[in-house]
């Protein structure tokens, strides 16, 4: 059995924690307006800064898949689908029992990822299905052809999906398999061919990862303070498909790839990290999550909010990891039954 690299598994854990953070920030509280930046510059700056860091959550997760490469197997695909269905159906039944949900057509549709809230599951499943085709291209293409495809892809994405967002339905501001394909190919290219940017020191990546969110925050907050009634110069960068977000994600990958860690605890936690995402973004829990943080923000001060938020998010993360052991036990039992039946 292949031992997972704990340095990259730690990054997987961080990426999933950032999903919690991004949903406790702009998703719950909304993006600061130009007037917010003028009237409450400190509060607005903190919101933007944490959003500028956490917005990389999805890109990091997809880039990790590209870094290692997806090698589809029946067991791997079945495990992923089982994990999704276990929490989609399980949490719906649980919320029905405790009375926070009602039996409805929309609720039943949510059990099978048939609502917009489940966009990531569907986008990633299609990436998984397409992985053999992408891998065949990666293996057959020359480095020059691979590089040219990436240049053409991201040029198209930046123009039609980022600068003129909404001009094409295929990219959907990064909420799509098309965007995932670009990230997957980019990460594979960087790992296989090691361009010069991937050979920098750890201190270079740390400095870049610290400075970049500060620059995005300044670009967002400064224009309103100078009398320019728009936040577009900053908000443009806070997107899954912005050059900032993609480079930030790859720098996170490159930094953690240079760290040497091997830990059974990290690997154990990482095995349940995707369930953290599934549990808190479930259609039956996400709106309660949002309402909670809206109420928390209204009843606390700025610095108190972020202190409480980090503590609460850690508790949510730990709780999700613990209860996910039920799903892991159920999967192992089910797969053993399937294997034993096939061997008979």
Rounded Cα gap, residues 215 and 114, in angstroms: 38
Question: Percentage of the chain surpassing pLDDT 70?
Answer: 99
- Start-to-end CA span in the chain (Å): 24
Q: Which two tokens stand for residue 140?
A: 């057959």
Residue for token pair 């009843």: 299
Higher pLDDT, 179 or 171: 179
What DSSP string runs through 282-302?
A: STTTHHHHHHHHHHHHHHS-H
Give the closest residue to 269 by CA, choosing from 327, 324, 204, 212: 324
pLDDT, tens only, 244-291 = 999 999 999 999 999 999 999 999 999 999 999 999 999 889 999 999
For residues 62-67, give the mean pLDDT.
97
Confidence of residue 116 (pLDDT cuts 50, 70, 90): confident
Rounded Cα gap, residues 240 and 190, in angstroms: 19
Give the closest residue to 7 by CA, choosing from 273, 286, 253: 253
Rounded Cα gap, residues 301 and 278, in angstroms: 30
Which pTM was predicted?
0.95
DSSP, collapsed to helix, strand or coil, labels residue 272 as: coil
Q: Where are the beta strands (DSSP E) in 168-255?
A: none
């Amino acid at each position: 059995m292949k031992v997972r690299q704990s340095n990259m598994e730690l990054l997987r854990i961080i990426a999933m924690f950032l999903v919690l953070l991004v949903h406790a920030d702009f998703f719950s509280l909304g993006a600061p307006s130009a007037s917010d930046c003028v009237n409450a510059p400190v509060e607005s700056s903190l919101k933007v800064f944490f959003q500028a860091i956490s917005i990389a959550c999805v890109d990091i997760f997809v880039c990790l898949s590209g870094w290692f490469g997806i090698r589809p197997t029946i067991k791997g695909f079945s495990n992923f689908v089982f994990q999704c269905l276990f929490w989609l159906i399980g949490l719906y039944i649980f919320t029905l029992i405790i009375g926070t949900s009602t039996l409805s057509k929309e609720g039943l549709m949510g059990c099978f990822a048939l609502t917009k809230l489940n966009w990531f599951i569907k986008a990633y499943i299609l990436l998984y299905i397409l992985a053999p085709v992408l891998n065949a291209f990666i293996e057959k293409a020359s480095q020059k052809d691979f590089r040219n495809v990436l240049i053409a892809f991201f040029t198209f994405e930046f123009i039609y999906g980022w600068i003129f967002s909404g001009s094409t339905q295929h990219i959907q501001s990064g909420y799509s398999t098309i965007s995932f394909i670009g990230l997957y190919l980019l990460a594979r290219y960087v790992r296989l061919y090691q361009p010069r940017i991937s050979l920098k020191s750890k201190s270079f990546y740390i400095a870049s990862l610290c400075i970049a969110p500060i620059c995005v925050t300044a670009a967002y907050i400064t224009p309103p303070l100078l009398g320019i009634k728009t936040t577009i110069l900053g908000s443009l960068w806070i997107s899954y498909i912005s050059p900032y977000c993609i480079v930030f994600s790859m720098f996170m990958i490159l930094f953690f790839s240079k760290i040497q860690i091997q830990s059974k605890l990290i690997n154990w936690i990482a095995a349940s990290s995707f369930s953290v995402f599934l549990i808190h973004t479930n259609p039956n829990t996400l709106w309660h999550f949002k309402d909670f943080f809206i109420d928390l923000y209204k009843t606390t001060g700025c610095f108190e909010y972020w202190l409480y938020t980090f503590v609460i998010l850690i508790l949510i993360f730990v709780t999700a990891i613990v209860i996910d052991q039920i799903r892991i036990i159920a999967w192992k039992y089910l797969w053993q039954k399937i294997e034993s039946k096939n061997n008979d």
